[in-house]
Amino acid sequence: MYNHTVLILYTELMPYNVIVIKELVRKGCRVHAVLWDENKLTPYLPPQVEGVTYYNRSAFWNPDHLFRLVKKLEPELVWTAGWIDPLYNDVSHMIRKKLHIPVVAGSDTQWRGGKQWLNVLFARFRQHRWFSHMFVSGEWQEVYARKLGFAPEQILMHNLSADTDLFNRVNIDDRKKSYPKRLLYIGRFSPEKGLPYLLQAWESISDRKGWRLTLVGNGPEREKLTGYPEVEILDFMEQEELLRIMQESGAFILPSVSEQWSLVIHEAACTGLPILASERCGAVTCFLKEGKNGFKFIPGNIASIRTSIEALLRLPESDLIEMGKTSRELSRIITPSMVADTLLQLL
């Protein structure tokens, strides 16, 4: 049943990682995943999947111990969560030196300069000892990989995907009957998301043309988000309910002032929504074409955010419907199956 064995050394899996792992299994891979079980940032536990075995990171006290498992499993490919974990880095070096199989580092980090120059300076003693390839999210992450000295043939593109089958269940044709005037945000209520700038921009618009702003999520800034006109705040919800909200929305907005990739933009594109997003979001390189399916704005700039929202509100419904169709077309650039295929081309 299984033609290949893949080992994943990861921090915390999320649902969008699990769908890629399921694709690996579907394509004939037996998957073993070592995961952080201490100091986790989220309570999420990945589901049991046939063909997948999980191991707790805390069960391995040094690289030699983890390497013993690696030799027992005899993987043909190793996929790591970047270089955040020193244990994973050390064992990756051992795997490359002794087993001579591909070791692929995932990265969603944009090139920003600054302290990243230290990684560039020491890359041949660090990243190039640990990894044979970089698996990056998009264009801005590819720039960083090249700065680290990885050649084009060592850089794999598009390591993250929305659950395209799930979000494609939203029927975009239903919006033709009565276009929903809801501008939707989904995400954390935290400083890096730039929500105060969005709300100030929203409040400054004198004629909102019957639109309302809906914020879905939770986080430390929730109390700061109340008191604005035509704004509703909803808690994070199960995906079935989230799909209903997206079905009943007319556009999506993400005002982040700091954001490496932003998978939620891909999810919004799948549901056929016009998209407004800050230029800081890495996913705009794939899923937002200026004027074709939405508008970009300067992060943290209230006037720029207001201009983009007003441009959207002025559009006739026919244009919004066409933008939604373009969003869905763009969403097909990346799928879970494509992510798995890209990884397996190394076998």
Phi-psi region of 165 (alpha: psi -120 to 50; beta: other; left: phi over 0): alpha
In this predicted structure, what is the pLDDT of residue 240? 84
In this predicted structure, what is the pLDDT of residue 139? 96
Mean pLDDT of the residues in the chain:
96
pLDDT, average across residues 180-198: 97
Choosing among 3.40.50.2000, 3.40.50.970, 3.40.50.300, 2.60.40.2130, the CATH entry for 164-331 is: 3.40.50.2000
Q: Is the model more confident about 42 or about 149? A: 149
All CATH 3.40.50.2000 domain ranges in the chain, comma separated: 4-161+335-344, 164-331
CA angle 241, 242, 247 (to 5 degrees): 100
pLDDT, average across residues 187-204: 97
Say how far apart CA 258 and CA 45 lie, in whole Å.
Answer: 26
Judge whether residue 41 has pLDDT over 90.
no
In this predicted structure, what is the pLDDT of residue 323? 98
User: 269: number of CA atoms within 13 Å, CB side?
Assistant: 30
Say how far apart CA 338 and CA 340 lie, in whole Å.
Answer: 5
Judge whether residue 39 has pLDDT over 90.
no
In this predicted structure, what is the pLDDT of residue 43? 81
pLDDT, average across residues 83-109: 97
Domain 4-161+335-344 matching CATH 3.40.50.2000: the answer reads yes
pLDDT, average across residues 267-275: 98
Cβ neighbours for 124, distance < 8 A, ≥ 6 positions apart: 149
Of the candidates 39, 36, 90, 84, the residue with the CA atom closest to the CA atom of residue 59: 36
